[in-house]
C-alpha cells in the first residue's frame, strides 16, 4: 500500500469513528455531514467523495462496526480457550453489542434499518463455525443437523432484532443475559 492509500484508509477510519460516535450520541437525523467532517478532521467534500450520500456513509459506518465486532468474535473463536470459556466470552461481547444497538434504536428507530439487514447474513457464517467447533468438542449435541441449528440461531436473532426495536425497560439486560445463556447452554449435550 502506497502513502496515498494509507492516508485514505486513515481518513476513512476517522470518518467511521466520528460518524458512529455522533450517531450514537445524537441519533441519525440530528447529525449533519459537516459535523462528522469537523470531528473527523476532514472536509465535507472528502466525505461526499468517499461515500456519496449521508445514507451511504451511515450504512458503511454500521457495516464497518459490524465487521469489527465479527473480527472480535472470530478472535475469541480462534483462541486457545476451552469451548465453554469461549461461549462465556462471546456472551459478554454479545450483551455489550446488543446494548449498543438497543441504545441506538431507542435514540432513533430509523437508524436501525442501516445495519440490521446485513447483520444476520454476516453472523450466519460465524455461527456455523461456532457450531462445528462445538460439535467437534462435544459441547453441542451431534444429533442436531446444521439446518436445524441455523434455524435455532435465526430464531434467536429475530427475537433479539424485535427486542432491539421495542425494549426500553431496566430488566432488559438481565433478560438478554438469560436468553444468551439459554441459547448457548441449551444446546449442550452435557452440563459443563
CATH label of the domain that carries residue 43:
1.10.10.60
- What is the extent of the structural domain holding 48? 1-52
What is the number of structural domains in the chain?
2
| 46/68 same-domain check | no
* For residues 25-31, average pLDDT: 83
Other C-beta atoms within 10 Å of 69: how many? 19
Work out the angle at residue 99's Cα, subtended by the Cα atoms of residues 10 and 61, and round it to the nearest 5 degrees.
25
* For residues 113-140, average pLDDT: 80
pLDDT of residue 192: 44
| 168/73 same-domain check | yes
DSSP designation for 110: G
Instruction: Report the alpha-carbon distance of residue 66 to residue 122 in Å, rounded.
Output: 8
| 7/74 same-domain check | no
- Does any domain span residue 190? no
Cα 62 → chain centroid: 8
| 80/112 same-domain check | yes
Q: Lowest mean pLDDT of 27-41, 143-157, 165-179, name the range.
A: 165-179
**Closest Cα to residue 93, out of 62, 124, 70?**
70
pLDDT of residue 45: 95
pLDDT tens, position by position, 161-184:
676 666 555 556 677 677 777 776
Instruction: Report the alpha-carbon distance of residue 88 to residue 43 in Å, rounded.
Output: 43
pLDDT tens, position by position, 91-112:
888 878 877 777 777 766 666 6
Beta bridge partners of 188: 140
pLDDT of residue 191: 45
Q: What percent of the chain has pLDDT over 70?
A: 82
Amino acid at each position: 500500500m502506497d502513502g496515498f492509500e494509507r492516508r485514505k484508509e486513515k481518513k476513512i477510519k476517522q470518518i467511521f469513528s466520528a460518524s458512529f460516535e455522533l450517531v450514537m450520541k445524537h441519533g441519525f437525523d440530528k447529525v449533519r455531514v459537516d459535523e462528522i467532517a469537523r470531528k473527523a478532521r476532514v472536509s465535507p467534500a472528502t466525505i461526499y467523495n468517499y461515500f456519496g450520500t449521508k445514507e451511504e456513509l451511515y450504512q458503511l459506518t454500521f457495516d464497518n462496526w459490524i465487521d469489527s465486532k465479527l473480527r472480535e468474535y472470530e478472535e475469541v473463536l480462534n483462541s486457545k480457550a476451552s469451548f465453554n470459556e469461549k461461549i462465556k466470552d462471546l456472551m459478554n461481547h454479545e450483551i455489550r453489542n446488543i446494548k449498543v444497538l438497543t441504545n441506538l434504536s431507542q435514540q432513533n428507530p430509523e437508524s436501525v434499518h442501516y445495519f440490521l439487514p446485513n447483520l444476520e447474513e454476516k453472523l450466519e457464517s460465524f455461527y456455523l463455525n461456532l457450531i462445528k467447533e462445538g460439535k467437534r468438542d462435544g459441547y453441542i449435541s451431534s444429533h442436531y443437523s446444521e439446518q436445524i441449528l441455523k434455524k435455532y440461531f435465526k430464531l434467536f436473532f429475530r427475537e433479539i432484532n424485535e427486542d432491539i426495536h421495542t425494549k426500553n425497560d431496566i430488566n432488559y439486560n438481565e433478560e438478554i443475559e438469560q436468553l444468551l445463556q439459554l441459547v448457548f447452554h441449551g444446546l449442550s449435550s452435557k452440563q459443563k
